Amino acid sequence: MIDLNHGSGAVYGGTGIGSVAERVNLLLDDALLAERRAQTPRTYLGASRIGEPCARRLAFEISATLPDEGRGFDGRALRIFDAGHVFETLSIRWLRAAGFDLRTERRDGGQFGFSVAGGRIRGHIDGVIVAGPEVGLPWPALWEHKALNARSWEDLVKKGLKESKPLYWAQVQIYMAYLDVPVTLFSALNKNTQELFHEPVRFDPTDAQALSDRAVAILRAVDAGELPPRIAANSDHWVCRFCDYAQRCWEQTP
């Protein structure tokens, strides 16, 4: 009788299942990181980042500053991005099946978006719903999608977008401002359970103007070779603890 389990996981040069897993994952991470490195670094301010709470961090990002040693995207983060696109494709299919006329591409195949300030502020929306069933929303409505883990999704459902996810709130406000559409349907998928939450977000001209003014001020500071102020008075602020530029910010810049 053949023992199908005998020696499972062993490969020459390896010591077992763990070794194989590590080797495969290293290859996957290397491939994803190589893809990422091949991309042109952003020198514009994307709508998805405008709500970042620290202006100095945004200045580092848009001046293509290298993250601190050992910081920046890793393979897992890049897989999470890719998975987000797959979840988005599913949500698009489900909405269309339910009768929502959701457009995600222009006729020429490009993404819907905007570019202002000489291309220094840009954004691309996930889609626009041009018609659909009666759900209490006017059409057209912009459509933005995020795939969230259970804890993050539950927090969104409980508190709403503005309080729970100010970064995404800012993103959709900027989209509505520059695309001149007064409402967005924000759809969030719970990656653990596949539950969906949909929040209608109305345009808030005051918030949008403040965000736009802040973006312009950060671009001006970068162009002048200046660093905007830090978000915090010391480096143990929670935002700084998660920042890829913390060392550069606190040890190498004034």
User: Residue 179 or residue 231: which is nearer to ligand SF4 going by CB?
Assistant: 231
Residue 89's H or E segment, with its range, is helix 75-97
Q: Minimum CB separation from ligand SF4 for residue 240, in Å?
A: 3
Site residues for ligand SF4, 4-63, by CB under 6 A, read 54, 56-57
Q: Choose the stretch contacting ligand SF4; rule: CB under 6 A; options: 2-10, 140-148, 216-224, 226-234.
A: 226-234
Least distance to ligand SF4, CB of residue 64, Å: 15
12 or 238: CB nearest ligand SF4: 238
Residues in the interface with ligand SF4 (CB under 6 A) total 12
The nearest distance, CB 156 to ligand SF4, in angstroms, is 23
* Residue 120 interacts with ligand SF4 (CB under 6 A): yes or no: no
**Distance in angstroms (rounded) separating the CA atoms of residues 200 and 188:** 11
Q: Are 28 and 75 in contact (CB under 8 A)?
A: yes
218 binds ligand SF4 per the rule CB under 6 A: no
Maximum C-alpha span of the chain: 76
CA atoms within 13 A on the CB side of 175: 26
Contact call for residues 68 and 246 (beta carbons, < 8 A): yes
Cβ 216 vs Cβ 62: under 8 Å: no
Among 230, 238, 252, 254, binds ligand SF4 (CB under 6 A): 230
Give the CA radius of gyration of the chain. 22
Using the rule CB under 6 A, give the single segment among 10-18, 93-101, 157-165, 227-235 that binds ligand SF4. 227-235
User: Residues near 201 by Cβ (< 8 Å), separated by ≥ 6?
Assistant: 161, 169, 172, 173, 176, 183, 184, 185, 186
* CB contact at 8 A, 231 and 55: yes
Judged by CB under 6 A, the stretch of 81-89, 98-106, 136-144, 224-232 that binds ligand SF4 is 224-232
Q: Which residues make up the interface to ligand SF4 (CB under 6 A)?
A: 54, 56-57, 230-232, 239-240, 243, 245-246, 249
